[in-house]
């Protein structure tokens, strides 16, 4: 297996770098590098810049408006965007619901939804997890009862990310109770403006409310908004290198009343350990991409990436908090948004770090908790 980049791939990297240097707004890059919170307008602005270039949906085939890149090109693009401080392209529309619509949707659904996802006109969110039904989605209870040309949806979704800004939500709902739990689930596309949809914010440890509870009370959803067959929804259903550079930069700065933390041998060892783990993670990622290019199904490496990637993100945020010490304690999002003026409480670069630390606590839970991923790894490797 050859993990070296080809000359064409290296040339592509230079093309991406040139585009980012010319097109990425400096104020957006500054907010990302300084770990400040991004607004809806920030995400939409970058989405539309990429859409104008034809690069907003790297994984889409050309027939739907994608660039037709290989998996390695997509990896290079993500890596360079992260290094430059580009906001992420939110995955819910481009990377989550769009591929489902492309593979299983009707021609009418493709014509209606895909162009609006590509342009940024539609902001999507995800409706999977429920109270008592997180990693085990087969236990979900939100029901959709068919009445003529509509479903009547009742239930609750939780841990929904950025639903307060969304135009549409894609949901797994229970449409049958007979047989195996996985066989009674359907995939619905629901307009968030439909009467009966209520969004209630959940305040997190960092004071933000980027996640929500969403309630459905007698919500009417056209049957035409079901993707694929009824009761078959179950089957449908890169950041750290930049943070490592930030950690090293913080550790090199002088601390109040003491020498830079980078001069502490034990702290240097911890940075080196995380860097080694990150290098191993990148090699694993390249292995997965090589398998994908060879048209082989991913193995346990995909779950390994989730487990180790989330753990590394958490380690980096912990080390940054340790590096800034008490300077990381003041965290006033409103003042950060208005422009930091609290120099007496510490340097500006330290102010957002406690918020970042608290936010990273969730990474080992979402997208399939690490405990679930470890079970998958054991089943695939050991057959347990």
The per-residue pLDDT for range 205-234, each reduced to its tens digit, is: 777 788 899 999 999 999 999 998 777 665
Rounded to the nearest 10 degrees, what angle do helices 240-252 and 301-324 cross at?
Answer: 20
**Residue 344 banded pLDDT, cuts 50, 70, 90:** very low
Taking the model in full, what pTM does it have? 0.68
The per-residue pLDDT for range 269-287, each reduced to its tens digit, is: 888 888 888 777 776 776 6
- Domain made up of 7-89: CATH architecture: Orthogonal Bundle (1.10)
Which CA distances in Å does 128 have to 17, 137, 158, 189, 276? 36, 7, 8, 12, 35
* Tokens encoding 277: 């783990």
3-state secondary structure of 150: strand
The per-residue pLDDT for range 77-96, each reduced to its tens digit, is: 988 998 999 998 998 999 88
Which segment of 100-114, 127-141, 238-252, 326-340 scores lowest on mean pLDDT?
A: 326-340
Cβ 56 vs Cβ 89: under 8 Å: yes
Q: In CATH, what class is 124-235?
A: mainly beta
The per-residue pLDDT for range 11-54, each reduced to its tens digit, is: 999 999 999 999 999 999 999 988 888 899 999 999 999 999 99
Query: What is 240-382's CATH topology?
Result: Butyryl-CoA Dehydrogenase, subunit A; domain 3 (1.20.140)
Average pLDDT, the chain: 82
Domain boundaries, the chain: 7-89, 124-235, 240-382
Which CA distances in Å does 278 have to 48, 86, 144, 152, 317? 31, 20, 43, 47, 14
């Amino acid at each position: 297996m050859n993990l070296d980049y080809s000359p064409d791939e290296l040339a592509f990297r230079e093309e991406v770098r040139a585009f980012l240097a010319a097109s990425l707004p400096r104020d957006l890059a500054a907010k990302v590098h300084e770990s400040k919170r991004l607004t809806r307008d920030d995400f939409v602005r970058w989405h539309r810049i990429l859409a104008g270039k034809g690069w907003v949906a790297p994984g889409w085939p050309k027939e739907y408006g994608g660039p037709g890149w290989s998996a390695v090109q997509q990896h290079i693009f993500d890596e360079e965007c992260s290094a430059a401080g580009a906001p992420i392209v939110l995955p819910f529309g481009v990377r989550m619901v769009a591929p489902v619509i492309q593979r299983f949707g009707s021609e009418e659904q493709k014509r209606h939804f895909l162009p609006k996802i590509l342009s940024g006109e539609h902001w999507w969110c995800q409706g999977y997890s429920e109270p008592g039904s997180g990693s085990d989605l087969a236990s979900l209870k939100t029901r959709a009862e068919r009445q003529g040309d509509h479903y009547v949806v009742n239930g609750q979704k939780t841990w929904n990310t950025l639903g307060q800004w969304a135009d549409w939500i894609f949901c797994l709902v229970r449409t049958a109770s007979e047989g195996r739990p996985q066989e009674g689930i359907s995939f619905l596309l629901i307009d968030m403006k439909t009467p009966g949809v209520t969004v209630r914010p959940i305040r997190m440890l960092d004071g933000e409310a980027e996640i929500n509870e969403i309630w459905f009370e007698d919500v009417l959803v056209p049957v035409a908004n079901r993707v694929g067959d009824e009761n078959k929804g179950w089957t449908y259903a890169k950041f750290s290198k930049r943070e490592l550079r930030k950690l090293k930069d913080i550790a090199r700065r002088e601390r109040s009343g003491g020498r830079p933390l980078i001069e502490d041998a034990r702290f240097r060892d911890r940075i080196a350990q995380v860097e080694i783990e990150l290098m191993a993670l990148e090699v694993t990622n390249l292995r997965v991409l090589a398998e994908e290019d060879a048209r082989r199904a991913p193995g346990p490496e995909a779950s390994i990436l989730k487990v180790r990637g989330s753990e590394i993100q958490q380690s980096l945020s912990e080390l940054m908090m340790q590096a800034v010490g008490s300077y990381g304690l003041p965290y006033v999002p409103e003042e950060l948004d208005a422009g930091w003026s609290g120099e007496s409480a510490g340097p500006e670069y330290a102010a957002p770090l406690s918020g970042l630390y608290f936010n990273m606590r969730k990474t080992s839970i979402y997208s399939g908790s690490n405990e679930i991923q470890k079970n998958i790894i054991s089943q695939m490797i050991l057959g347990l």
